[in-house]
Amino acid sequence: MILSFHPCFVADKNIICAGRKPGADDLAAIKAADAVILPQGCYKSLYEMARGNCANVFPNYDAKFKYPGKTGQTKLFQNKGVSLPETVIFRNTDSFIPNFASFSKCHCEERSDVAILSPKDCFAIARNDAIGKDFQIILAKFGFDFPFVFKFDWGGEGENVYLIKSAEDLQEVLQKAAIYERTGQAGFLIQEYIPSQNRSLRVVIINRKIITYWRVLKNREGFCSNLSQGAVIDFDSDPDLQEMAAVSVKNFCKQAGINLAGIDILFSSDAKPQKRAHSPQLAAGLASESENSKLPYGRSSPQLVAGNFNKGIEK
């Protein structure tokens, strides 16, 4: 008997577990099943229940729960020897600028000419008053300069991903980060910007099936080549690059135990081919010159930029 918790896949027995934790009836059904199909929005408790009580469970969400978010995916790629665009992970704004949470407040309180200011104005005063805290200096400490990419730890379809071109852009996104942190959401990364002619290659893994297609952003002024941002699908261009990326992603997923994912790869439009091995950055994720299971970097090889371990083809 096949049991499906997925609303779109009809099996011998179907159960909807959305919006609730699994219970005794779910456990009994899992134990009686020969195979279990899980939904994309799957609670960790349901996944652990299925994995612990049925020999055949799809998808394999081990990587999803062990390496959550964009920062977690980056760590997975690093652990598997995948070369990424230069990436630095930050737990919160304090790890980017020490004592960031009190940074603007303290400097505003020291100013006798400051009455009640908005967080934006207060931060601007603090940044301008703080000697040695210039953004250029801070970025240089991590080996970065403008432009670069800023990604919050959560989000999808290009949301919460920003191309940072200036100190003003960085100030604005750090303000957003500080606001998020007051609600309990924290974590972000900064990443090398890879020019890619306004397109990315989506590689979809569904068990043994692989589907590849380009997402092309017609607006040259745009940044994220997501369908939700106005990109269009191109199945036909550069089949050799699509094949190269498919083989590389297949090898990576085999190593990581991933059998359902949508992985984005960038091919740099200006990087010179390099002999050193590099690989794509899945994530939000994240391309390199092929060697063994690694992915290539440079004009003729893919750079992994984003990944979603529970998502397949976009609609």
Is 313 within the bounds of a domain?
no
pLDDT tier at 230, thresholds 50, 70, 90: confident
**One domain, residues 255 and 117:** no
**One domain, residues 9 and 111:** no
Mention every residue, 6+ apart, whose C-beta is less than 8 A from residue 251. 292, 293
Q: pLDDT value at position 305?
A: 60
| Cβ pair 149, 225 in contact under 8 A | no
**One domain, residues 43 and 11:** yes
* Each residue's pLDDT tens digit, 174-223: 999 999 999 999 999 999 999 888 899 999 999 999 999 999 988 776 67
Alpha-carbon distance of 124 to 144, in angstroms, equals: 21
**One domain, residues 239 and 186:** no
pLDDT tier at 132, thresholds 50, 70, 90: very low
Is 63 within the bounds of a domain?
no
Is 108's pLDDT higher than 60?
A: no
- Cα-based angle 157, 163, 167 (whole degrees, multiple of 5): 145
**One domain, residues 124 and 207:** no
Q: pLDDT value at position 304?
A: 63
Nearest-10 crossing angle of helices 24-32, 44-53: 40
Is 108 within the bounds of a domain?
yes
**One domain, residues 109 and 29:** no
**Could you tell me the residue range of the domain that residue 118 belongs to?**
89-190
| Cβ pair 231, 214 in contact under 8 A | no
pTM: 0.78
Is 10's pLDDT higher than 70?
A: yes
Residue 188 belongs to what H/E stretch? strand 188-192
Other C-beta atoms within 10 Å of 291: how many?
Answer: 15
Alpha-carbon distance of 261 to 104, in angstroms, equals: 41
| Cβ pair 119, 100 in contact under 8 A | no
Overall average pLDDT of the 138-152 stretch? 93
| Cβ pair 143, 86 in contact under 8 A | yes
**One domain, residues 99 and 170:** yes
Is 96 within the bounds of a domain?
yes
Q: Which of 152, 175, 192 is nearest to 72 (CA)?
A: 152
Q: Please, which residues bridge with residue 203 across strands?
A: 212, 263
**One domain, residues 212 and 173:** no
**One domain, residues 144 and 279:** no
Domain count, the chain: 3
Q: pLDDT value at position 73?
A: 93
Overall average pLDDT of the 80-106 stretch? 79
Tokens of 47: 């996944």
pLDDT tier at 64, thresholds 50, 70, 90: very high
Q: Please, which residues bridge with residue 266 across strands?
A: 303
| Cβ pair 309, 291 in contact under 8 A | no
Residue 163 belongs to what H/E stretch? strand 161-164
Q: pLDDT value at position 280?
A: 40
Domain closes at, from 175, 190, 205 = 190
Is 64 within the bounds of a domain?
no
Q: pLDDT value at position 28?
A: 98
Is 273's pLDDT higher than 50?
A: no
Q: pLDDT value at position 294?
A: 34
The rounded radius of gyration (Å) of the Cα atoms in the chain is 22
Q: pLDDT value at position 302?
A: 55
Higher pLDDT, 135 or 111: 135
Is 122 within the bounds of a domain?
yes
Domain closes at, from 145, 166, 190 = 190
Is 280 within the bounds of a domain?
yes
Is 155 within the bounds of a domain?
yes
Higher pLDDT, 237 or 269: 237
Q: pLDDT value at position 267?
A: 87
Alpha-carbon distance of 29 to 39, in angstroms, equals: 16
Q: Give SS3 for 19.
A: coil
pLDDT tier at 310, thresholds 50, 70, 90: low
Percent pLDDT > 90 in the chain is 58
Q: pLDDT value at position 274?
A: 38
Higher pLDDT, 78 or 223: 78
Q: Which of 7, 49, 10 is nearest to 27 (CA)?
A: 49
Tokens of 120: 């934006």
| Pairing status of strand 87-90 against strand 199-206 | unpaired
Higher pLDDT, 105 or 22: 22
**One domain, residues 283 and 201:** yes
| Cβ pair 194, 303 in contact under 8 A | yes
**One domain, residues 174 and 206:** no
Domain closes at, from 155, 190, 225 = 190
**One domain, residues 223 and 136:** no
